């Protein structure tokens, strides 16, 4: 049997992974990776941290765990994989099973035959179609060249003002990087909120925090970039505001690179990515596609999504590496779009469906809850976590969770991602056996406590009201009895100041006489995190009040301005 010829188009994450796994499955295959850029296997998710100065040695973005730069020599010596860098693939001839390419250094072109082909062409940063977008000083943070450019700006220290356009994951990471570089930042987002994988209340809590570091402008897009002598000197927004700056970073999303696939007659899906089956194979059985250029099924909705995450790209590469050699043996199941980012001292993460996403998909019959608590005991310097949980009412299955705060967000999101993976109900989660010791968690872990509150809501013990709804109703001057049930010292230090009365929980039973006689009076209770708020609501209900709600997440999750 002749050696299998494998060609991989794309040398960043998914491509090299597919090539390496194929090599491990078949020592004799002839494997070639074509890479348009000059570097290989770049840790692109690390760019913001290189720009921000978390580390200074650029080669760390290109190293194997053993500290060897993954260049062409490395790939050949360690893996017997040929890598052609600075080489662009121009077209795929499916009939002849060959590709044509151009060596970008010499301009020479060539053809190469394949038995199996992997398309791992990635995605390109979107650029807004506005005047001035070609000015010098406007960049993205997508390629290692971008990272080099921004790192140079940090090191030179000349540029003092920048605008970051786009408040998604990359935008937020860029904001932190440039802020650490000592640059004054304005973050501009077209939508009314940052980080659209979060629901509004959660996003607003993050916004409030980010605003303590940089200037945030929401619901306002870029109208044009202004400049002199070809160099950027201001960004003009749609409302006419001009923001002087010497640097603008575009972070308004990415577009899958599908030209090669499309021109080869392969199907492009509704989300703009290359269509693949569960083996990551296109309609052509000899062509696979992986990484940021494909769309994959969402495991809850079943619909295709574009999920350009570095971890999924690597996992898909591994699947394809095996399938190319062994025949279609391994499936890639899809995604629940688990994501996380560091936002200064906050973690911000999400897995599964948000409320907004569920509504967009026409999913109804879910319940939500917001919970706030420490990640570990106060005496171990616990930090705040705020979680919004989404559960299907009928099956009580967990649909999604968003977690933010200075606490250990990463562990919480991992727990919920695994709960969704295991198709757990909130009742199964309520008695999960998680690792507990004071240096690591509360006796009842934040995730389990969140499940408990959800159970209380589903079982009718707790009627919640969201901060958004309470805020709106207070603004509309609806008649509500508002009860803060903390103690007077806490009330003096911090309070909402939206017309609430203070009756400490410990006095509530003896001061019921101060409340309206009308048992149908609508009452909203809260405390710092609404645990005592819940207990107060139960006392009121037991005393005949029929319309009592608990402010979910309490003061800790209140995303609006407070009196103090």
Cα gap 413→197, rounded to integer Å: 13
The burial of 102, by beta-carbon neighbours within 10 Å (0-12 exposed, 13-18 middle, 19 or more buried), is given as: middle
Residue with smaller CB distance to a second copy, 255 or 434 = 434
- The distance of Cα 315 from the centroid of its chain, to the nearest Å, equals 18
Token pair listed for 153: 């700006």
- Cα atoms in the Cβ-side hemisphere of radius 13 Å centred on 405: 28
Name the minimum Å distance from CB 168 to a second copy: 13
CB of 6 to a second copy, least distance (A): 16
Please identify, using beta-carbon distances, which residue of 248 and 305 lies nearer to a second copy.
Answer: 305
The count of C-alpha atoms lying within 13 angstroms of the C-alpha of 29, restricted to the half-sphere facing its C-beta, is 28
Question: 109 vs 507, which CB is nearer to a second copy?
Answer: 507
- d(Cα 409, Cα 429) in Å, to the nearest integer? 17
Q: What is the DSSP string of 229-292?
A: TTEEEEEEETTS-EEE-SEEEE-S-EEE--HHHHHTTPPB-TTSSEE--TTSB-SSTTEEE-GG
Closest separation between CB of residue 112 and a second copy, Å? 23
- Whichever of 483 and 505 has its CB closer to a second copy, that residue is 505
Distances (CA, A) of 412 to 91, 135, 417: 45, 43, 9
Closest distance to a second copy from the beta carbon of 81 (Å): 12
Q: How far is the CB of 164 from a second copy (least distance, A)?
A: 17
Shortest reach from residue 362's CB to a second copy, in Å = 23
**Is the CB of 272 or the CB of 310 nearer to a second copy?**
310
Pick 201 or 373: Cβ nearer a second copy: 373
Q: Which is nearer to a second copy, 264 or 415 (CB)?
A: 415
CA distance 450 to 400: 12
Q: How far is the CB of 477 from a second copy (least distance, A)?
A: 31
Q: What is the DSSP letter of 423?
A: T
Sign of the CA dihedral with 209 first, then 390, 467, and 372 last: negative
CB of 536 to a second copy, least distance (A): 10
Place of tokens 């053993």: 66
102 vs 547, which CB is nearer to a second copy? 547
| Contact (Cβ atoms closer than 8 angstroms) between residue 114 and residue 5 | yes
- In angstroms, give the least distance from the CB of 22 to a second copy: 12
Decide: 188 and 161 in contact? Cβ < 8 Å: no
CB of 338 to a second copy, least distance (A): 4
In whole angstroms, the minimum distance from the beta carbon of 251 to a second copy comes to 15
User: CA-to-CA distance for 413 and 244, rounded, in angstroms?
Assistant: 38
Query: By C-beta, is 255 or 512 nearer to a second copy?
Result: 512
**Are the CB atoms for 116 and 9 separated by under 8 Å?**
no
DSSP 311-359: HHHHHHHHHHHHHHHHSS------B---EEEEETTEEEEEEE--HHHHH
Which residue, 345 or 478, is less far from a second copy as judged by CB? 345
Of 346 and 471, nearer to a second copy (C-beta) is 346
Q: How many CA atoms lie within 13 A of 265 on its CB side?
A: 5
């Amino acid at each position: 049997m002749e050696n299998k010829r494998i060609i991989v188009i794309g040398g960043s994450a998914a491509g090299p992974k597919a090539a390496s796994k194929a090599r491990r499955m078949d020592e004799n295959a002839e494997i070639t990776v074509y890479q348009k850029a000059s570097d290989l296997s770049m840790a692109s998710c690390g760019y913001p941290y290189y720009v921000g100065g978390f580390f200074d040695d650029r080669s760390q973005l290109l190293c194997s765990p053993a500290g060897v730069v993954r260049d062409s020599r490395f790939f050949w010596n360690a893996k017997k994989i040929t890598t052609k860098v600075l080489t662009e693939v121009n077209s795929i001839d499916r009939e002849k099973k060959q590709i044509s390419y151009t060596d970008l250094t010499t301009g020479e072109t060539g053809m190469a035959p394949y038995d199996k082909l992997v398309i791992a062409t990635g995605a390109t940063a979107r650029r807004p179609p506005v005047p001035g977008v070609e000015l010098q000083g406007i960049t993205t943070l997508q390629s290692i060249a971008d990272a080099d450019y921004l790192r140079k700006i940090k090191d030179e220290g000349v540029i003092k003002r920048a605008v970051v356009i786009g408040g998604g994951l990359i935008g937020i990471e860029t904001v932190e990087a440039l802020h650490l570089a000592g640059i004054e930042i304005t973050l501009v987002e077209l939508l009314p909120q940052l980080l659209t994988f979060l629901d509004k209340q959660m996003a607003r809590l993050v916004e409030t925090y980010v605003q303590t570091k940089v200037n945030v402008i929401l619901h306002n897009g870029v109208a044009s970039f202004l400049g002199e002598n070809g160099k950027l000197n201001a960004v003009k927004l749609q409302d006419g505001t001009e923001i002087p700056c010497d640097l603008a970073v575009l972070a308004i999303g990415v577009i899958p690179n599908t030209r090669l696939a499309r021109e080869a007659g392969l199907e492009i899906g509704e989300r703009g990515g290359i269509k693949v089956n569960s083996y990551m194979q296109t309609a052509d059985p000899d062509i696979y596609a992986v990484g940021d250029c494909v769309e994959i099924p969402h495991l809850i909705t079943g619909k295709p999504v574009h999920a350009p995450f570095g971890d999924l790209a690597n996992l898909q590469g591994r699947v394809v590496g095996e399938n190319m050699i062994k025949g279609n043996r391994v499936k890639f199941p899809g995604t629940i779009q688990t994501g996380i980012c560091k936002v200064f001292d906050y973690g911000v993460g999400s897995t599964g469906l948000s409320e907004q996403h569920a509504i967009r998909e026409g999913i109804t019959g879910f319940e939500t809850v917001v919970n706030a608590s420490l990640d570990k005991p106060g005496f171990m310097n616990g930090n705040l976590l705020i979680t919004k949980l989404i559960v299907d009412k009928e099956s009580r299955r967990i649909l999604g969770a968003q977690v933010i705060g200075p606490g250990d967000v990463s562990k919480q999101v991992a727990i919920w991602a695994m709960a969704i993976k295991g198709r757990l109900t909130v009742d199964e989660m309520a008695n999960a056996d998680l690792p507990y010791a004071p240096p690591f968690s509360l006796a009842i872990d934040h995730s389990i406590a969140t499940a408990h509150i959800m159970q209380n809501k589903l079982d009718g013990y707790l009627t919640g009201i969201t901060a958004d709804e309470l805020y709106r109703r207070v603004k509309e001057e609806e008649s509500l009895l508002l009860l803060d049930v903390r103690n007077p010292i806490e009330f003096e230090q911090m309070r909402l100041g939206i017309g609430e009365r203070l009756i400490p929980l410990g006095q509530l039973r003896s001061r019921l006489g101060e409340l309206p006689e009308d048992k149908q009076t609508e009452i909203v209770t809260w405390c710092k995190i609404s645990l005592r708020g819940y207990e107060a609501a139960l006392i009121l209900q037991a005393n005949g009040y029929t319309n009592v709600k608990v402010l979910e997440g309490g003061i800790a999750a209140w995303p609006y301005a407070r009196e103090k």
